[in-house]
Amino acid sequence: MKEQSEKGGKVYLIGAGPGDPGLLTIKAKEILQACDVVVYDYLANPTFLEYVGEEAEAIYVGKKSSQHTLSQEEINKLLVDLGKQGKRVARLKGGDPYIFGRGGEEAQELGENGIPFEVVPGITSAIAAPAYAGIPLSHRDFTSTIGIVTGHERPDKEKSAIDWEGLARSMGTLVFLMGVKNLSNICRNLMDHGRSPETPAAMVRWGTTPRQQAVTGTLATMPEIVEKAGIKPPAILVVGEVVTLRDSLNWFERRPLFGKRIVVTRARAQASDMRRKLEDLGAEVVQFPTIRIQPPSSWSPVDEAVERLNDFDWVIFSSVNGVKFFFERLFQKGRDVRDLGGKSIAAIGPQTAKELESYGLRADLIPNDYKAEGLLDVFTDEETRRILFPRAKVAREVLPETLRKRGHHVEVVPVYETVMEKPDEDVMRSILSGDVDVITFTASSTVHNFVEIMGGKEKVQVLPGTIKMASIGPITSQTLRDYGLHVHMEAPVYTIDGLIQEIITNLSS
């Protein structure tokens, strides 16, 4: 090994796991957040790139079966070059880097060139995919031995290094990674060397993801079953009596939204909680942010209002964003929550109230109807109130206008604004081809921008009829109808949880 580089460069060989973003390790996430460059493979879930800092460079090396953007030798050289440049490099690989991931070869190359490196193990698909398919690799009623085997050896090998007789006779459970193309040979070799043709077998594709597909059969029937099912890589083969447990232990594919592709149109910064909840229910979430939340072009109206907080009796918050941006600016001006002492606070919706609680404030009023009109029953003509309303720059005027007509003094200050997000061409193609099940809308602004991004009213009216539109409430629903779109689902409770429950109910019926 050469003397290590003195420039501070370091390469982390990180196992990204089999696909479920929740299976990434805490250490791997921390390295991704701090790296200068991330070099990633086809099998690494692109969600992980969201952890990478905005200033970091992302390099896709595209290692897919028979399709390599860079050869392994070129990848090795790239890692060495980046290390010599003093970069902190996250080399993100599907599964575990040392289990048929060629991580050992990359580590050797780094070591020979004096580049410091660390290995961050990942959860291999050999273990995770069967578990998500309801197949425990060991079980005391069946076996206590497990063998993990590559499904394809190096093509330049003259003779197989696999001890087929030993595998066939001594291992209770066998897992073959990357074995789709050689499936017939694998099954034949096992049977020729003593394994019963009736041995249960399963093939699991895209294990641990909402695209997971699993088929079962026997060694004798598996090649035909896999061909009929159209299973392509990436997939693993499991052989052994434990496969019979799938019928009773298949938990992952029984979740209520399993396999459904659901488009989330809300701002990326606000989408994480909704995405997580949908994914926990089995859905494949397709992020298609139509809006981006940003500070207002001028803080002057807000700053002036903050200087006159004693002039107001009430402060009304109509959204989580309104709360966040208002308090961020309040703190920037050297103030704190004590400046709201003696004022009543109204929150439209439980999520807005929850956000207020994160600042140590409890809403005095939360209307039963989670929209602006819900407050109108409270603010009557009997007593004149002075009201501060921090909200989006562009929003519905029904609440402030009605309150003013009733004699109240309402001062609206824009604490944030929404702008249209850049379109994702790949997602647009998926929507136009009908390759999604549901498109969700959580505000009228997401509807307006969605229509504009997709090409206008006439374009969205001819979207495939298989796609269902899901709305968070009546105002958003009316906006959809104004564009000629059918509302298939409307949340009875105007919250993200209410919307998700309505999607479950609708898709289950």
Q: So which residues are the catalytic ones?
A: 41, 63
Q: What DSSP designation does 421 have?
A: P
Distance CA 247, CA 203 (A): 14
Packed helices 425-432 and 444-454: angle between N→C axes, nearest 10 degrees = 90
Contact 221/189 with Cβ under 8 angstroms? no
Distance CA 188, CA 504 (A): 44
- Among the listed residues 18, 67, 59, the one whose alpha carbon sits nearest the alpha carbon of residue 207: 18
What is the rounded radius of gyration, in angstroms, for the C-alpha atoms of the chain? Answer: 28
- Among the listed residues 249, 251, 248, 240, the one whose alpha carbon sits nearest the alpha carbon of residue 142: 240
Packed helices 300-307 and 320-332: angle between N→C axes, nearest 10 degrees = 70
Contact 100/150 with Cβ under 8 angstroms? yes
Beta strands 409-420 and 291-294, pairing class: antiparallel
- Among the listed residues 263, 259, 265, the one whose alpha carbon sits nearest the alpha carbon of residue 283: 259
Please tell me the total number of residues recorded for the chain in this structure.
509
Beta partners for residue 238, in sequence order: 175, 202
The letter for the amino acid at 176 is: F
Contacts of 158 (CB under 8 A, 6+ apart): none
Distance CA 89, CA 57 (A): 10
- Among the listed residues 151, 153, 172, the one whose alpha carbon sits nearest the alpha carbon of residue 237: 151
Tell me, rounded to whole angstroms, the distance of Cα 395 from its chain centroid: 29
- Among the listed residues 252, 249, 246, the one whose alpha carbon sits nearest the alpha carbon of residue 206: 252
DSSP alpha helices (H): ranges in 256-373? 272-280, 300-307, 320-332, 350-357
Distance CA 387, CA 438 (A): 39
Q: What DSSP designation does 88 have?
A: E
Contact 35/56 with Cβ under 8 angstroms? yes
Contact 240/158 with Cβ under 8 angstroms? no
